């Protein structure tokens, strides 16, 4: 092998490009956590209800990380933005669902004392 083909071990590698994969994974986890209370009653309660506490933070994280990934991909013609956009969509669905359920619970609990 010639010296031109050998790679320099001290050569700096380019930083990894954000492709929106984190956004997609976190958004998927947030949407999956929405369905955890619907698991059968044979599943322990810690696995059914504990993930519910993470829906809102995971959804927000998915939207923010997807936005950051899209911003970093700006100007790159060959970049695939599908994962980042899907993560933003899933995160937005999770946030909207969590806020709707919280608003409904507050409304329902206000009507109990009347």
114 residues of the chain, pLDDT tens digit each: 555 566 656 666 655 555 788 999 999 999 999 999 999 999 999 989 999 999 999 999 999 999 999 898 888 777 788 999 999 999 999 999 999 999 999 999 987 766
Query: What was the pLDDT predicted at 77?
Result: 72
Residue in 49, 48, 65, 47 with CA at minimum distance from that of residue 57: 65
Q: Domain locations in the chain?
A: 21-110
């Amino acid at each position: 092998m010639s010296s031109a083909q050998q790679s320099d071990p001290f050569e700096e590698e380019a930083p990894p490009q954000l492709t929106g994969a984190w956004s997609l994974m976190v958004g998927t986890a947030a949407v999956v956590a929405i369905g955890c209370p619907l698991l059968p009653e044979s599943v322990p309660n810690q696995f059914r209800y504990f993930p519910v506490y993470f829906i809102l933070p995971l959804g927000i994280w998915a939207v923010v990380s997807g936005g950051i990934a899209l911003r970093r991909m700006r100007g790159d013609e060959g970049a695939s933005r599908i994962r980042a956009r899907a993560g933003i969509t899933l995160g937005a669905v999770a946030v909207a669902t969590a806020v709707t359920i919280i608003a409904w619970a507050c409304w329902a609990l206000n009507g109990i004392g009347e």
